[in-house]
Chains A and B, each alone.
Chain A
C-alpha cells in the first residue's frame, strides 16, 4: 500500500492506494494549522481503518505540505543571523533597488518592512574571494568567532552564511561553518555554497536567508511528523514533495526546506497530468480553482516546465531555486464582484474566503461572489449541500447581486451574475494564454484538466474560449494534489555556475563539472537506498547568448560530452530562444552560465491508479431536472438540465449536456452540445469539439456578414 497526504489550508487530503492493483480510498480531514501533523496523523489513522489495514502495511508515504510556504506568507519564521562579506551588510535590504510599484509614494518594500534577517543580526567579517575564485582577503576567523558568539547570545535560531563569490571558492564559507559548529552546534545552518552555488548575490543571499528563516520550524515539523508516524506503526520512509516536481527524503527536506515551497501546487499539477494520461492525453493544461485562487500549469507532452529564474519567488521574496512553472491568479469561488468608482465591473482578486464566505452560505457574507453567481444561474443548487454540510440560501445571492451589481449597472440580476462569471472566465483564459499561446504552445492541442472544488464549474466555458477540444475532470477533483503525490520520484538537482562557451577548449571543463555533479547525485541517491538500476540522470544547461543577461533552461543530451554534444546543446538553445522570444541569433556565441544535473531515483511504479471495474447500473429515472442558465448563441438562456450524483454513474456511461454532475466537494458543469464520457479510471472526459465548432461557425458567419 502507498499513501499520499496533501496538507492544504482548509483540508488535509489523503489517498491510499493498493500497489498491487486494486482500489484506492480517499479521505479528507480538516487541517490543523497550529500543528499540521495532527491532521496528518488523524487522517492516516482513519484511512487505515477505512481500508481495514494496519499503518505498518504502508510501504510508501508521500507528503505535500504548505508548512514552509505559510511561514513565508505569514512571516512567522525563525530569528535568523547572517554572516556576510564586509562592505555588503545590506544586500538583503537594498535588494535590486527596484520598487514593486511605479506610481506610489506610500508603498512598502516587503524586504525592508518584513526583513528575513534584521540588520542587527547581519554581521560582517573581513574576507574576500575574487571573481576568479582566488582569495583576496583572508577570513578574519577571530572576528567570525566573536560574531557567532554574539548571535548565540542574541538567541538566533538559524544562521545564514553568505559571502561574495563563494560559488567560485567555498573555502571561507566552509571555514565559518566549522567555527559555528564549534561555537553553536545546535543552530540551524544555511550556507550559501551548499544551498545554492550560483551567481547573483542578492538572489542567492535571499534564497539562503529564506532557507534559514523557514528552516527550524519546517525541520521540526518534519521530525515530529516522522516520529509520530513511527509511533503509530508506520515503517516506511517519509517522502516530501519539492518545488521542482520531485520528491525528497525527510532528511534532505529538513536540511534544505527551501525546496518545499511550492510543494502543494506542484503535486496538483502532477495529479492533473496523471489524470489526463489515464484518459489518453499527453499535452496538459491544469486548472485548480479553490476558494480564493486558481493555479494554472501547462505541461506539453506531460512534462512540467520550469519557471524563469527571475520569476522564482515566494510571496515577495526571491528564491532562486528550480520551481515548476505554476501561475496563481486571484480567482476562486469566493472572488468578490463589484462595480468600482469609475463604473467598471470587476471580479476579484479580493475574496470572501471561507469565512464569511459567499452570501449564500448565510454566514455573514454580504458581498456578491462567484459562487453566488453560480447559484443564481442554477449551476449550484440550493439543495445540494456543499462539502456535505452546508445548506445554501439562493435568495441571499440574489439580494447581494441586485444591490451591488445589477442596480449600479442598471441590468437584471441574471445578467449581473452571468457577467461576473464571464469576467472571471476571461481572467483565467488570459492567464492560460500567457502560459501557453504566448510561450508557443497551441491550446487546441491540449487537454484541460479541471481540479479543485471550483475547477469543474468553469472548465468547459474556459475550454470553449480557448478552443481546447477536451476537458478531463478527475474522479476526485478536490484531492488532485494528493493523487499527484503518488506519481513522483526522488529528485536531486545539483547546480554549478560555469560561465563557459561551448568551444572545443571548454568541453573538457564541462565534462569534468558534469562528472562531479553526477557523482554527487548518485551518492546522494544511493544514500537514500536507491539501487543503481533505478537511477536516471538528466542534464540541463542554463544558456544565453554571450552579452545577454538572462539564461534559458536547455535540456542537454546524455551520453559522452564532446563536440557533437556541444553542438546539440547549442542548437537546442537556439530553438528554445526562438520559442520563448520569437527570434534567434545563430551567428552569436552561446554561453552555459550554470549547468545542472538532475538525479532521479525511481520509487513509483507505472500507474498509481488502476482502472476499476464497476457493477453500478445507470438508472436515468433517478435523475432530477431543473432550469440552468447557459449561453446559447451568445444569449443567456434558461435550459432544462439534468442533475446527477457522480457516484450514481457507472464507468462507460456517455451523456450529452446540458448536465450538472454533483459530488461531495465539487460540481461539474457540462453545457449544451458537450459530450461527457465516464471512463474506466473514473474520469469525466468531456468532448468540446461540437461546442467549439458551433461557436467557430457562428464567428465565420459574423465575419462574412
Chain B
C-alpha cells in the first residue's frame, strides 16, 4: 500500500531535486530508486527504530549471563541484504557498529548457502567479530524467496571455552581464546541442528548460561525478522527499500554537513601510551592518531601505533577498531544530547569516515594473533580522536577521558556441583572536563555503555562480598571545569578465585587540556592495608586469589578543562562542601579563599588569584 501522496508530481520533484543535490556523495539516483513521500519516510524510520529497541529489550530481559542482562553488553538491529546497518538498539555502541562486519564474515563462509529459516552463529574475529566471546546470532530474512535483509544481534557470553574462564589477556594465539563458530547454522531451513548445539554447549564452562543467552538471542533475532516482514506487508518491499536507502543517505548527509564546517587540515593527538601487553610488563605501547579533514570526509590514520603484540591485547580491525572510531566521530559531531533532531545510527554514518591502520599493528593484527582483550585500546583510541578534534572543536570535545575499562572476571569451581561460576564486571571510569561543564563521574565512557550489577544481586549469587563501591577519595583533576572522578570498589573473596584483569592506565593519566590538570591513574591493590598488600598490574591472567583476600579496584579520574583560576568561586565552594576537594586545594590550586565560617571571601580570592598568576608568569 502506498500512502496518499503517492501520485503527486510535486513530491517527485522535491525528491528529485534533493537527489541532484546529494549526487556524488550517495548511492541515490540509481535507476531502480522509487520515490517516496516525506510522511511515509518518517513513519518507516520510526518503525525501524522501534524494532531495534524491541529486539534489544527481549534479549537482555530474557538473557541468563549477567554481562548481557545487567551490563547490557549486547547489540541488536536490522541490516539490508548487503549487510548495511539500518537501525541499532541503544545498548552498548561497541556492539552494533560491528554487525555489518559479522555479516560480511558469514557471507565469506557460507557464500550463497544462506537459506530461509537459517539461524547462524558467528564469532570469528578475523571475519568480522568484535572479539571471540561476542557471539552473533544472524537470521536472514526472505520475502517471496528472495533474501531481503538480516535481523542480527551480538551478546557477550561468559565463556567460550578458551584457556581461561571468563576473560584472558596473556594468551598465545586466536585458537587459545576459545571456540570459533564460523557461521555455524544452529537451525538449517528451520530445522534445529542438534549436533551443532551439543558441540557449542559441551565445550564451554558455562553451558547453562550460554544456552539461555543463545536462546534469548535467537528469540530477539526472530522477532526482528517477524517485524521486518510486517513492515514489508504494510508498505511493500520497494517502498521500504527506498526508505532504507534514503535514511542511510540522510544520516550520511547530516554527518557530512558537520564535517564540511571544519577547516581542512591534519590534526594530531598527543602520543598516547598503553601500559603494556599483559606479559611484557614495563614495555608501554604507543598510539599515534592523526585526523585529517578533507572536504566532507574524515581520515583517521593510526600509522605509527605499536606493532601487534604477542598476547591477546590486539584489536580486530573491522569488529572493533572501526566501530570505535565511528562512535567517537558521531558523538562529537552529532552529539545526541545537543542535536535538535534525531539522526538515526546506521551505515550512512560510516561512509564519510576512513580509517588507516597498517596490517600487523595493534589496531589491525595479522592472523593468528590473539585479539581477545581489545576494549581498553579502542576506548583509548576514541579518546585520542577526541583530543585531536579538541584543537579545532574546543566546545564539542572534552579533556582527556578515563578512556579505559577495568573488565574483571572472577571464577571458580563449585565444589558440590563441579560446575564453574564466572562473574564478569565492567568497572566504569569518568569523563574529562568540558566546555561549560564539569566531567561526568563514575560512568561508562565513550565506546562502552554498560550497566553495573547490583551489589545485592552479586552477593546472593557469587562467593564474594563488596566492602566498598563509591567515588575514589583522590581529588578530581582541577580545571575551570573539573575532570570526572573514577570509582573505588573493594571485594572480599570467600573461596580461592581465578582472577583476570583486563585494564590499563596505571601509568599514563588522562590529559588535562587548556590549562586543566591531568587526571589520576587507576590501580589494583590486593589485601590493602595488610602485611600482604600488593599492587597488581592492570592486566593479569588467571591470577590466583586466595580465600579471605581482598581486591581494591580504582579506575582513572579524567583530566580538567581550562585554568583552575578561572573556575567560578561558588563552584569551588560547592566542591569543598561536597568533600570533593579540601580547603587547601581550594586555596592553593584554585586560588579561592573560604573563611572560617565556610563562606567565600571574594576580594581575598581575586587578590590571591592575581598574585598566583603573576607568580606563574615569573616562573
Contact A89 B470, CB 8 Å, known A164-B456, A548-B212: yes
A616 within 8 A of B: no
Whether A419 pairs with B39 at a CB distance below 8 angstroms is: yes
Q: How far is the CA of A164 from the CA of B454 in the complex (A)?
A: 11
Q: Which of A522-557 contact B (CB under 8 A)?
A: 545, 547-550
Whether B42 pairs with A99 at a CB distance below 8 angstroms is: no
B25 within 8 A of A: no
B195 within 8 A of A: no
Please, what's the 1-or-0 string for A323-348, where 1 marks a CB less than 8 Å from any CB in chain B?
00000000000000000111111100
Q: How far is the CA of A499 from the CA of B345 in the complex (A)?
A: 40
A109 within 8 A of B: yes
- A344 touches which one: B42, B61, B90, B332 (CB < 8 A)? B42
- Interface size for chain B: under 10, 10 to 19, 20 to 34, or 35 or more residues? 35 or more
Whether B1 pairs with A699 at a CB distance below 8 angstroms is: yes
**16 A-B residue pairs with CB within 8 Å:** A89-B471, A97-B443, A99-B443, A104-B338, A106-B337, A106-B437, A344-B41, A344-B45, A346-B42, A410-B13, A422-B4, A423-B42, A426-B42, A548-B212, A549-B61, A581-B61
A339 closest partner in B (C-beta): B38
Contact A341 B341, CB 8 Å, known A102-B93, A103-B330, A409-B14: yes
Contact A94 B64, CB 8 Å, known A106-B396, A346-B341, A434-B50: no
Q: Which of A396-453 contact B (CB under 8 A)?
A: 409-412, 415, 418-419, 422-423, 426-427, 430, 433-434, 438
Q: How far is the CA of A269 from the CA of B222 in the complex (A)?
A: 33
Whether A87 pairs with B469 at a CB distance below 8 angstroms is: yes
Closest chain A CB from B476 CB (angstroms): 12
Whether B39 pairs with A411 at a CB distance below 8 angstroms is: no
Residues of A within 8 A of B443 (CB): 94, 97-99, 109
B434 within 8 A of A: yes
Whether B50 pairs with A430 at a CB distance below 8 angstroms is: yes
Closest chain A CB from B201 CB (angstroms): 14
**Which stretch, B113-121, B282-290, B573-581, B602-610, touches the partner chain A?**
B573-581
Residues of B within 8 A of A94 (CB): 428, 441-443, 452, 469-471, 487
A588 closest partner in B (C-beta): B212
- B219 touches which one: A415, A438, A581 (CB < 8 A)? A581
Q: Which of B251-298 contact A (CB under 8 A)?
A: 253-254, 257
Residues of B within 8 A of A409 (CB): 14, 38
Whether A105 pairs with B72 at a CB distance below 8 angstroms is: no
A431 closest partner in B (C-beta): B50
B33 within 8 A of A: no
Residues of A within 8 A of B216 (CB): 581
20 extra interface residue pairs, beta carbon distance < 8 Å, beyond A97-B442, A98-B452, A341-B254: A94-B471, A102-B90, A102-B92, A103-B331, A106-B396, A107-B336, A107-B337, A112-B441, A202-B454, A308-B61, A343-B38, A409-B38, A422-B3, A547-B64, A548-B69, A549-B61, A581-B58, A582-B223, A583-B219, A588-B212
A201 within 8 A of B: yes
Whether B455 pairs with A423 at a CB distance below 8 angstroms is: no
B377 within 8 A of A: no
A131 within 8 A of B: yes
Contact A106 B335, CB 8 Å, known A87-B468, A344-B38, A409-B38: yes
Residues of B within 8 A of A434 (CB): 50, 54
A93 within 8 A of B: yes
A179 within 8 A of B: no
A698 closest partner in B (C-beta): B1
Q: How far is the CA of A74 from the CA of B45 in the complex (A)?
A: 32
Whether B451 pairs with A97 at a CB distance below 8 angstroms is: yes
A504 within 8 A of B: no
B465 within 8 A of A: yes
- B4 touches which one: A99, A343, A418 (CB < 8 A)? A418
List the 8 shortest-distance A-B pairs measured between CB atoms, nearest first. Answer: A107-B337, A87-B468, A549-B69, A119-B578, A94-B442, A131-B459, A345-B38, A90-B470
Q: How far is the CA of A351 from the CA of B49 in the complex (A)?
A: 22
Residues of A within 8 A of B386 (CB): 105
B159 within 8 A of A: no
Whether A201 pairs with B219 at a CB distance below 8 angstroms is: no
Please, what's the 1-or-0 string for B155-193, where 1 marks a CB less than 8 Å from any CB in chain A?
000000000000000000000000000000000000000
Q: Which of A98-154 contact B (CB under 8 A)?
A: 98-109, 112, 118-120, 130-131
Closest chain B CB from A475 CB (angstroms): 33
- B470 touches which one: A87, A200, A308 (CB < 8 A)? A87
Residues of B within 8 A of A97 (CB): 428, 442-444, 450-452
Q: Which of B67-126 contact A (CB under 8 A)?
A: 69-70, 72, 90, 92-93
B59 closest partner in A (C-beta): A581
Query: Of residues B38, B219, B254, which shows the largest number of chain A Cβ atoms within 10 Å of its Cβ?
Result: B38
B10 within 8 A of A: yes
Closest chain B CB from A197 CB (angstroms): 12
B544 within 8 A of A: no
Residues of B within 8 A of A99 (CB): 440, 443-444, 449
B69 closest partner in A (C-beta): A549
Whether B58 pairs with A582 at a CB distance below 8 angstroms is: yes
Whether A702 pairs with B43 at a CB distance below 8 angstroms is: no
Whether A105 pairs with B428 at a CB distance below 8 angstroms is: no
Closest chain A CB from B112 CB (angstroms): 29
Closest chain B CB from A509 CB (angstroms): 16
Residues of B within 8 A of A621 (CB): none
Whether B1 pairs with A550 at a CB distance below 8 angstroms is: no
- B457 touches which one: A101, A130, A199, A344 (CB < 8 A)? A199
Whether B490 pairs with A87 at a CB distance below 8 angstroms is: yes
- B578 touches which one: A103, A120, A550 (CB < 8 A)? A120
Please, what's the 1-or-0 string for A59-98, where 1 marks a CB less than 8 Å from any CB in chain B?
0000000000000000000000000000111110110111
A420 closest partner in B (C-beta): B39
Residues of B within 8 A of A410 (CB): 10, 13-14, 17
- B434 touches which one: A103, A106, A699 (CB < 8 A)? A106
B397 within 8 A of A: yes
Q: How far is the CA of A545 from the CA of B47 in the complex (A)?
A: 31
Residues of B within 8 A of A107 (CB): 335-337
Q: How far is the CA of A549 from the CA of B452 in the complex (A)?
A: 13
Whether A342 pairs with B254 at a CB distance below 8 angstroms is: yes
Whether A105 pairs with B38 at a CB distance below 8 angstroms is: no
Residues of A within 8 A of B449 (CB): 98-99, 102
Query: Of residues B39, B63, B338, B341, which shows the largest number of chain A Cβ atoms within 10 Å of its Cβ?
Result: B39
Whether B327 pairs with A103 at a CB distance below 8 angstroms is: yes
A165 within 8 A of B: yes
Whether B11 pairs with A411 at a CB distance below 8 angstroms is: yes
Q: How far is the CA of A430 from the CA of B222 in the complex (A)?
A: 20
Whether A164 pairs with B455 at a CB distance below 8 angstroms is: yes
B398 within 8 A of A: yes
A181 within 8 A of B: no
Whether B340 pairs with A340 at a CB distance below 8 angstroms is: yes
A340 closest partner in B (C-beta): B341
Whether B469 pairs with A345 at a CB distance below 8 angstroms is: no
A427 closest partner in B (C-beta): B46
- B469 touches which one: A91, A101, A103, A112 (CB < 8 A)? A91
Whether B331 pairs with A165 at a CB distance below 8 angstroms is: no
Query: Of residues A87, A102, A200, A499, which shows the largest number of chain B Cβ atoms within 10 Å of its Cβ?
Result: A102
A636 within 8 A of B: yes
Closest chain A CB from B6 CB (angstroms): 7
Please, what's the 1-or-0 string for B394-411, where 1 marks a CB less than 8 Å from any CB in chain A?
001110000000000000
B334 within 8 A of A: yes
Residues of A within 8 A of B465 (CB): 130-131
Whether A547 pairs with B454 at a CB distance below 8 angstroms is: no
Closest chain A CB from B416 CB (angstroms): 16
Query: Of residues A108, A201, A549, A582, which shows the largest number of chain B Cβ atoms within 10 Å of its Cβ?
Result: A549
Closest chain B CB from A120 CB (angstroms): 5
A89 closest partner in B (C-beta): B470
B34 within 8 A of A: no
Whether B42 pairs with A345 at a CB distance below 8 angstroms is: yes
Q: Which of B182-224 contact A (CB under 8 A)?
A: 208-209, 212, 215-216, 219, 222-223
A124 closest partner in B (C-beta): B470
